[in-house]
Structure 1
């Protein structure tokens, strides 16, 4: 299954959009059904890991902490997702690898796979942030190609696609709110973090 789209943020410059979308905590907070996104190693256990629920995001967060935890190219991340699809609400234990992270062109791509009881998926996804013509804002282009099998796949695209589209819409709506919060505070935060990344 393929999903793609564009999202415009009229008052958020690309540099700022990049920083918020590079923060695993901001992404987690905006992704409905996501309990955590955290760097993982060979010993990582989905059952034993307890996420810190109270991590601050910008503008309240310490800029150095945000820069330190930003997605890193080549790093593997564990993500725990629980999303209701029809009558099924699987808990996906997901591994995501950041394949590319280009801070000059604002491009990030990732691959991932996950399993849940009776279902599995693999995916490739990416985004690029462009300046929005005629304003100071951003245009975010995103795409995902997913291969789904098992119980969820049996539900078919008529059930899966509306759920996926709702998750994406909610995600970018919440990301826009976070970016607007950052925009309303000291814009120097953006420059400080970019210098640290």
Structure 2
């Protein structure tokens, strides 16, 4: 799974939020625990339902190749008892927006799952992962808007002053996301 999202906040604000366990706990669907267990290591707990399989997953996340506030790699490993397991990694990067304000979060996730979850089929798993990622972006956007209202006010002014898109042109998606958070949301989805 891969993607990118435009964010109204600065690159540093996005980096800080993605490295804040409380922000991640608030934004990751079904998450009840994100706790530091050591330098660049976290224990996580997430409740997930994929089709007929519902389970509580516990796992660990390790950050590596850290280049603040630009990028890092997230390695994850989660166990959901009889429901199965998930493991993999994700590369997350933040870059200044080409439009002048805000930043762009890009991510790539590689994951594998086993157990009952793997028997559900890739299409169902991918659909749930995509839905969870979108839910994460919405929650993250709401939280960043609460924490940084000035960034959203400035983005709204820029958007209002921009000419309307040409007929047939795609309107940019403002579905918030943050590197590690996106990865975490995808991880929680795929790690179940």
TM-score by length of 2: 0.73
The aligned counterpart of 1:94 is: 59
Please give the alpha-carbon distance, in whole angstroms, between the structure 1 residues aligned to 2:112 and 2:99.
38
Unpaired segments of 5 or more residues in structure 1? 42-73, 187-197
Question: Deviation at 1:148?
Answer: 0.3
Select which of 15, 18, 41 maps to 2:15. Answer: 18
* Offset, 1:126: 2.6
Aligned pairs for 1:4-15 within 5 A: 4-9=2-7, 11-15=8-12
Figure out how many residues of one structure are paired with residues of the other and give that number. 150
Residue 140 of structure 1: SS of its match in structure 2?
A: strand
How far apart are the structure 2 equivalents of 1:20 and 1:100? Answer: 18
Q: Distance in 2 between matches of 1:126 and 1:169?
A: 18
Q: Distance in 1 between matches of 2:121 and 2:105?
A: 28
Runs in 1 of length 4+ with deviation above 4 angstroms? none
1:190 corresponding residue in structure 2: none
Could you tell me how far apart the structure 1 residues matched to 2:42 and 2:99 are? 37
* Alpha-carbon distance in structure 2 between the residues aligned to 1:140 and 1:25: 20
What displacement does 1:117 show? Answer: 2.1
Tell me which residue corresponds to 1:35.
Answer: 32
Gaps of 5+ in 2: 152-192
SS in structure 1 at match of 2:145: helix
TM-score for both structures, normalised by structure 1: 0.71
Deviation at 1:185, TM superposition (A): 5.8
Query: What is the Cα deviation at residue 88 of structure 1?
Result: 0.5
Q: How does 1:6-155 map to 2 (within 5 A)?
A: 6-9=4-7, 11-40=8-37, 74-104=39-69, 106-118=70-82, 119-155=84-120
Separation of aligned partners in 2, 1:37 and 1:169: 20
Cα deviation code 1:150-182 (max 9, x no counterpart)? 100000111101110011111112112222222
The one of 110, 114, 122 aligned to 1:157:
122
- Counterpart secondary structure, 1:177: helix
CA RMSD of aligned residues (A): 1.7
